[in-house]
Amino acid sequence: MNTTELQRIKQRYNIVGNSDDLNHALDVALQVAPTDLSVLIVGESGVGKEIIPRVIHDNSPRRRERYFAINCGSIPEGTIDSELFGHEKGAYTGAVGESEGYFGVANKGTIFLDEVGELPMATQARLLRVLETGEYIRVGGQEIRKTDVRIVAATNVNMRKAISEGRFREDLFYRLNTIPIQMPPLRERGNDILLLFRLFAMQMADKYHLPKITLTDDAKQLMLHYKWPGNVRQLKNITEQMSVLSENREINAEQLKHFIPDDPESTELATISQPGQHSYENEREALYKILYELRGSVANLRHDLNSMRKQLDDTRELNNMSAYRNQYLDTPSSAMPALTPAGHPLNGYDGVSPTQDAEAEEIKAEPESLNLNDLGRQMVEKALERNNGNRKKAAQELGISDRTLYRRIKQYGLDKKEY
């Protein structure tokens, strides 16, 4: 982006600052604006993330359509689905009429979902469907509705950590994060801190007809080295306080310290890491990566175990049926012993008779090329013939479930045969 275009955007949206990270964020926003790709804006609370979706919408083909900014963290969990996707009359207590919801009203336009990391899991599933297919269903409804909405989301939480903790869907994250934009914290914007201070001081002076406050050199250094945990929002609040409460309109470092909170956890001055100084940031990132890989390995292992278990069950069924054939395959139905559901004889019958001994010898004399599939087909076919096609009785006789017998019938092509 050329400097002239960048300055035009900053003037239009009252953006103050010249840091490289800020300029890069604006550049990416303008490049992605003509497309319909989803954008995820990441940054700490108070850095001004809400400017980016406005820039994207106003420079997109949807600029003449409606734009909605929705704070997902401020809507109660019980009503957020209704707010986003609408509801039918009587869908819940208090639903006295129908509601289109934001996705219905904003058709052809843009929706900005601020604090998207606060969405409940059920709402995340609905949002994923809208992103993938453009379809949604109202609360309490059954009709599938279509919408054409550009979604820009923002969050101040660590999304990868939220995914590892089960608080955010990984598939939704990748759909939202098609184009990521990182907004820099105020402490990393250098002299932008002083530019913003002058802007806020001038606004307060014009609004309330007060003399404008300024900073001494030592106060400026304190400003530049402070961590600013509340970012631009905190800087604006402190500037407004000093504009109203300070009798001296030139603020020095001692006076500035009276307006900066003295909580050491939030006001510790930012320090530059020295060579050799240990940092735990890389270790945390490495641990997160290991956790993601481990979760994938566990999922693959579970899938393999389920496949092995199914194979073992099928083999066990074939073995049971093979043993059954060796004893009862050609035995007349009247000579068959009563069987338990597991296929075992009742009343002490041991399954041995002279007739079966002779049949066993005949079976042993058969060619050994008979495979298990042929063997299983013969057993199922014989059982169905003896029971005149009654599948329930045939399954009991074989010692298998009705569902397993039905699957075998389909597998062996016996479902079209008449008995």
Average pLDDT, the chain: 81
Residue 127 — pLDDT band, cuts 50, 70, 90?
Answer: very high
The DSSP letter of residue 351 is S
Lowest-pLDDT range of 162-171, 172-181, 189-198, 313-322: 313-322
Residues composing the chain? 419
Kindly report the number of other CB atoms within 10 A of residue 365's CB atom: 7
pLDDT tens string 52-65: 999 999 999 999 99
Q: Please give the C-alpha separations between residue 2 and each of 131, 142, 362, in angstroms, as whole numbers.
A: 33, 51, 93
Range 263-302 burial, b when 16+ CB lie within 10 A, else e: eeeeeeeeeeeeeeeeeeeeeeeeeeeeeeeeeeeeeeee
pLDDT reading at 375 higher than 60: no
Strands 39-42 and 135-137: unpaired
Residue 145 in tokens? 């509705």
* Strand blocks (E) in 266-410: none
pLDDT above 70 as % of the chain: 74
Per-residue confidence band for 278, with pLDDT thresholds at 50, 70 and 90: very low
* Residue whose tokens read 């909605």: 68
Radius of gyration over every alpha carbon of the chain, rounded to an integer in angstroms: 36
Calpha distance 61→80 (Å, rounded): 28
Which single residue is written with the structure tokens 């606060």? 118
End-to-end CA distance of the chain: 80
Q: Which residue has the tokens 């016996």?
A: 414
pLDDT > 70? residue 281: no
pTM of the model: 0.61
Which has the closest alpha carbon to 81: 166, 160, 139, 30? 139
Query: Letter for the amino acid at 106?
Result: A
